[in-house]
Amino acid sequence: MQVQVKGVIAALISFSLLAALVWAKDEPWKGKPYDQWDKKDLERIFTDSPWARIVSVTRSWAPLTSKDLPDKITSGAVRQPPTELERSSESSVGGELNINVYWASSKVMRAASARKSVLLDGNKGVDVTKYAGEPQEEYQIVVQSADMAPFFRHDEKYFQSVAFLQMKKSKLKLSPSKVHYERDANGTLVTTVIFYFPKKTPSGAPTIPADEKGAEFSCKLERTLLQANFDIQKMTDSSGPDL
């Protein structure tokens, strides 16, 4: 009987190890070369990886309309607002909105962005490995959504004052060192917001030590609070911690 019990335990251990290996194999950031990532890999990285969060919030602001835009955008023969504006107008105050929040300074997210540029956008000259490996002086949190009206109505300095990154264990609360907007082809609508956070305190200590468990990014969007939690201990690639 004792032999049979040991046999069952050994079988369960073997099964658990096999399941762990299969799961690890399915994670493209664990060993699969950047230049072999396919569309499914990219989709998983951007939607279901430790560096990506999709946060549902209740919209507390009115969507943009053509009246919000400069005359030069809506004037002319066509007199049509940009497609981004049309999408954001589909929902009103009180509706639910999904917001993508990425830990964009990580090698994994940089590699995914570069690989997307090659695979989906046709930019064959991009060196994915080189781009992913370029040292980043600060942590970067990226925010994207179909409705970026709050960012259109407030400048970077405003969001530098209403956003922060707080550590779960140390309770250290970091304000952005700067905020940068990326805009559409017309240079008008905000499409991407990048929040930069320091890697070191004024005394030179790391803002995110090796034993830190997690970090929460918070940003006030009118009367709505956007919050995204990141599990620091899970943010690792084949070479170790990746922030």
pTM for this entry: 0.82
> Is residue 2 pLDDT above 50, yes or no?
no
What pLDDT sits at residue 219?
98
* pLDDT tens-place string over residues 98-138: 999 999 999 999 999 999 999 888 788 889 999 999 999 99
Strand order in the sheet with 178-183: 52-58, 96-103, 138-145, 190-198, 178-183
β-sheet bridge partners, residue 183: 190
The average pLDDT across 81-109 equals 76
pLDDT score of 238: 87
Q: Which residues contact 128 (CB under 8 A, 6 or more apart)?
A: 34, 35, 111, 114, 115, 118
- Bridge partners of 224, per DSSP, are 221
Q: Which residues contact 100 (CB under 8 A, 6 or more apart)?
A: 46, 52, 53, 54, 142, 143, 144, 145
**Percent of the chain whose pLDDT exceeds 70:** 81
26-47 mean pLDDT: 92
Residue type at position 170: S
Helices (H) and strands (E) in the chain, counts: 8, 11
**Mean pLDDT over all residues of the chain?**
84
Q: What is the pLDDT of residue 124?
A: 82
Indicate the SS3 state at residue 57: strand
CA distances in angstroms from 98 to 47, 59, 91, 165, listed in the order given: 12, 10, 12, 20
- 164 in Cβ contact with 225 (< 8 Å): no
Angle, helices 107-119 vs 39-47, to 10°: value is: 140
- What distance in Å separates the CA atoms of residue 83 and residue 10, rounded to the nearest whole number? 59
pLDDT of residue 79: 34
Paired strand residues for 102? 52, 142
Residue 139 confidence (pLDDT) above 90 = yes
Contact residues for 59 (Cβ-Cβ < 8 A; gap 6+): 91, 92, 93, 94, 95, 96, 97, 147, 224
Q: What is the pLDDT of residues 172-196, one digit of tens each?
A: 999 999 999 999 998 989 999 999 9
Report helix, strand or coil for 145.
strand
105, two tokens: 């300074």
How far apart are the C-alpha atoms of 171 and 174, rounded to whole Å?
10
Task: Round to whole Å and give the CA distance between 121 and 104.
Answer: 19
Tell me what percent of the residues of the chain surpass a pLDDT of 90: 67
Q: How confident is the model at residue 4 (pLDDT cuts 50, 70, 90)?
A: very low
Mean pLDDT within 83-102: 72
List the single range of 25-29, 128-132, 140-144, 179-183 with lowest mean pLDDT.
Answer: 25-29
